[in-house]
């Protein structure tokens, strides 16, 4: 007869299997920390040189650069983490996560282009926070649960930024910079050691 | 005690078969490669276990084509769901009785 330790191990294995096949757990905390640092650097440059003088082209270029760096790091580190766990990064859970984030993100992106076309620049930064927050809230079901509360924080910051437009850049730096770094460290210490 | 052990289905003695049932319990459909990835097993090994579960009518197979490549998807049948649930219940009882 098998002892009960065996069955407890069975249950543990089932739990891991179920989680592995429904949640994308290769997301890297380190990537969050890096994204936060890029965002802080970007916000600093924007504050110093661009935002007050309203140099729109420079601002957009800077934003795109920060975005590419952040997404690039996230993809690269997730890929590495998946390889370490002997999984493929681009598996069905990753696809589900990507689709569920893409809808709010693309909506936000298009809205921001519309805002630019209509000279409503003051709402640009709040909108990035809002739609990113919605995307994260949605994503929380398909990866670490903590991502859900991260989304709520970004939404709250986005609404604050939309009302107090003078503090929009500050809110943006807190949301994309500080909060990312804090969450990245949390994920890193909780799941990656 | 004896009754409890008997209600643990023999098909679920292997941890790989248990793994297949676990992932199919939370995913509607999975193809062969996805299963292989999650369970970290070889092709032949996985195929054998899938066959035996299929024989028990615990899982079903749906064949289709992606472009010109054949694609086989697996899903849990009603009988499989029931057997899996019963197995879970038996495990639960077993562990409770040990306390």
pLDDT string in tens for chain A (193-residue length): 556 778 888 888 888 888 888 888 888 999 999 999 999 999 999 988 766 666 788 888 999 999 999 999 999 999 999 888 777 778 888 988 999 999 999 999 999 999 999 988 889 999 999 999 999 999 999 999 899 999 999 999 999 999 999 999 999 999 999 999 999 999 999 988 7
In this prediction the pTM is 0.79
The closest CB to that of B95, out of A1, A8, A17, belongs to: A8
Q: What is the ipTM of this complex?
A: 0.77
Whether residue B41 lies within 8 A of chain A, CB to CB, comes out as no
Using one digit for the tens of pLDDT, what is the confidence trace for A4-53?
A: 778 888 888 888 888 888 888 888 999 999 999 999 999 999 988 766 66
3-state SS, residue A147: helix
* Best residue in B7, B17, B23 for a mutation probing chain A (most A CBs within 10 Å): B23
Within an 8 Å CB–CB cutoff, is residue B37 touching chain A?
A: yes
Decide: B81 and B26 in contact? Cβ < 8 Å. no
| Closest residue, chain B, to A83 (C-alpha) | B37
- Distance CA(B42)–CA(B25), nearest Å, equals 21
Q: CA nearest A19 in B: which residue?
A: B23
Please provide the DSSP assignment of A6-51 as one string.
Answer: HHHHHHHHHHHHHHHHHS-----HHHHHHHHHHHHHHHHHIIIIIT
| pLDDT tens digits along B69-99 | 888 999 999 999 999 999 888 888 887 887 6
CATH (domain of B58): 1.10.10.10
Which of A 47-106 lie inside 8 A of B, CB atoms? 86-88, 91-92
Question: Cα-flanking dihedrals φ and ψ of residue B70, to 5°?
Answer: -70, 140
- Which chain A residues are Cβ-neighbours of B38 within 8 angstroms? 17, 20-21, 87
Number of CB pairs, chain A paired with chain B, less than 8 A apart: 49
Report the alpha-carbon angle A182-A188-A191, nearest 5: 130
By C-alpha distance, which of B8, B34, B7, B10 is closest to B20?
B34
- What strands, in cross-sheet order, belong to the sheet with B59-66? B30-31, B69-76, B59-66
pLDDT tens profile B32-51: 988 988 888 899 999 999 99
Domain count within chain B: 1
Backbone dihedral angles phi then psi of residue A2, each to the nearest 5 degrees: -80, 145
A62-74 burial, b at 16+ Cβ within 10 Å, e below that, comes to bbeebbebbeebb
**B95 close to A (CB below 8 A):** yes
- 3-state DSSP call for residue A67? helix
**Whether B16 contacts chain A with CB within 8 A:** no
- Establish if A17 touches chain B: CB-CB under 8 angstroms: yes
Whole-number Å distance between alpha carbons of B35 and B31: 6
Cβ distance of A14 and B38 shorter than 8 Å? no
**Which residue range(s) make up the domain with B78?**
2-98
CA distance B91 to A27: 33
φ, ψ of residue A85 to 5 degrees: the values are -85, 5
**What confidence score (pLDDT) does residue A86 get?**
76
Measuring CA to CA, which residue among A99, A190, A180 is closest to residue A139? A99
| Contact between B23 and A17 using a beta-carbon 8 Å cutoff | yes
């Amino acid at each position: 007869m098998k002892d009960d330790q065996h069955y407890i191990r069975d249950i543990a294995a089932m739990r891991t299997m179920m989680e592995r096949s429904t949640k994308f757990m290769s997301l890297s905390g380190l990537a969050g920390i890096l994204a936060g640092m890029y965002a802080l650097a970007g916000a600093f440059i924007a504050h110093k040189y661009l935002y007050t003088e309203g140099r729109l082209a420079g601002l957009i270029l800077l934003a795109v650069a920060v975005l590419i760096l952040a997404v690039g790091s996230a993809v690269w580190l997730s890929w590495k983490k998946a390889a370490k766990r002997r999984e493929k990064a681009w598996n069905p859970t990753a696809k589900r996560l990507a689709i569920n984030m893409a809808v709010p993100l693309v909506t936000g992106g298009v809205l921001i282009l519309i805002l630019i076309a209509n000279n409503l620049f003051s709402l640009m930064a709040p909108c990035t926070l809002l739609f990113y927050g919605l995307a994260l809230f949605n994503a929380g079901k398909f990866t670490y649960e903590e991502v859900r509360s991260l989304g709520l924080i970004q939404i709250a910051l986005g609404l604050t930024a939309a009302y107090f437009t003078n503090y929009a850049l500050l809110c943006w730096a807190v949301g994309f910079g500080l909060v990312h770094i804090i969450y990245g460290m949390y994920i890193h210490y909780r799941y990656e050691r | 005690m004896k009754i409890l052990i008997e209600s643990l289905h023999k098909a679920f003695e292997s941890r790989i078969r248990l793994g297949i049932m676990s992932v199919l319990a939370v995913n509607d459909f999975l193809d062969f490669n996805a299963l292989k990835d999650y369970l970290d097993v070889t092709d032949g090994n996985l195929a054998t276990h899938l066959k035996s579960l299929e024989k028990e009518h615990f899982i079903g197979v749906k064949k289709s084509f992606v472009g010109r490549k054949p694609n086989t998807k697996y899903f849990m049948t009603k009988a499989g769901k029931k057997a899996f649930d019963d197995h879970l219940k038996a495990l639960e009882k077993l562990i409770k009785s040990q306390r």
